[in-house]
Homo-oligomer: A and B are copies of this chain.
Amino acid sequence: MLLSKSCVYGLRAALFLATRKDGEYTPIKGMSEKLEISFHFLTKILQQLTAEGILKSYKGPNGGVKLTKPGHEVTLMDIVLAIDGPKLLTECALGLPGCGLKNPCPLHDKWAETRDSIRDMLENTSLTDLVRKGIEENLRLTDDGDFEDLLRI
């Protein structure tokens, strides 16, 4: 797996939140059912995003979580970084410590290029980009559902 399962779930949840109205808190319970992710596990993941300042949370009735910034200001990279950490896109492909421009491994140059292409994609794609695409083409965030489903809630 290129991305951890937590990260994948985090991306799904972030996209889901980007479909909600600004200012409204969305309860994790409903989200977990809609996205078919275990409630407690999703809670943990979203706590990480909250700790990183990507989400705001509120307890009690009408509470839940929401994006702190508008969806077009949140990139996939923000989510991946918060969950899988910065090492994901800096580590040496041969596992050598200190591999870099100064003391590279034979694969360093090509691998750095590859990592950069991943990074570029993640940095240049916002949640809103994908929500817009999802709406226009009526795509899905779950095994069975479609985007109209999500927007109807």
Q: Which residues of A line the B interface, CB within 8 A? A: 1-3, 5, 8-9, 11-12, 15, 76, 87-89, 91, 93-98, 103-108, 110-111, 113-115, 117-118, 121, 125, 130-131, 133-134, 137, 139-143
Instruction: Please determine whether A121 and B130 come into contact, CB atoms closer than 8 angstroms.
Output: no
C-alpha spacing A121/B15, complex, angstroms: 30
C-alpha spacing A141/B143, complex, angstroms: 43
Residues of chain B contacted by A130 (CB below 8 angstroms): 106-107
Out of B95, B115, B121, name the residue touching A8 (CB < 8 Å): B95
Taken together, the copies of this chain in the complex come to 2
Residues of chain B contacted by A125 (CB below 8 angstroms): 107, 110
Query: Could you show 18 A-B contacts with beta carbons less than 8 Å apart?
Result: A2-B2, A2-B91, A5-B95, A8-B94, A12-B94, A12-B95, A76-B107, A94-B141, A97-B143, A105-B139, A105-B140, A106-B139, A106-B141, A107-B130, A113-B121, A114-B118, A114-B121, A117-B118
Residues of chain B contacted by A142 (CB below 8 angstroms): 96
Instruction: Please determine whether A1 and B88 come into contact, CB atoms closer than 8 angstroms.
Output: yes
C-alpha spacing A39/B147, complex, angstroms: 51
Residues of chain B contacted by A140 (CB below 8 angstroms): 96, 103, 105
Known: A107-B130, A121-B110. Contact between A8 and B143, CB under 8 A?
Answer: no
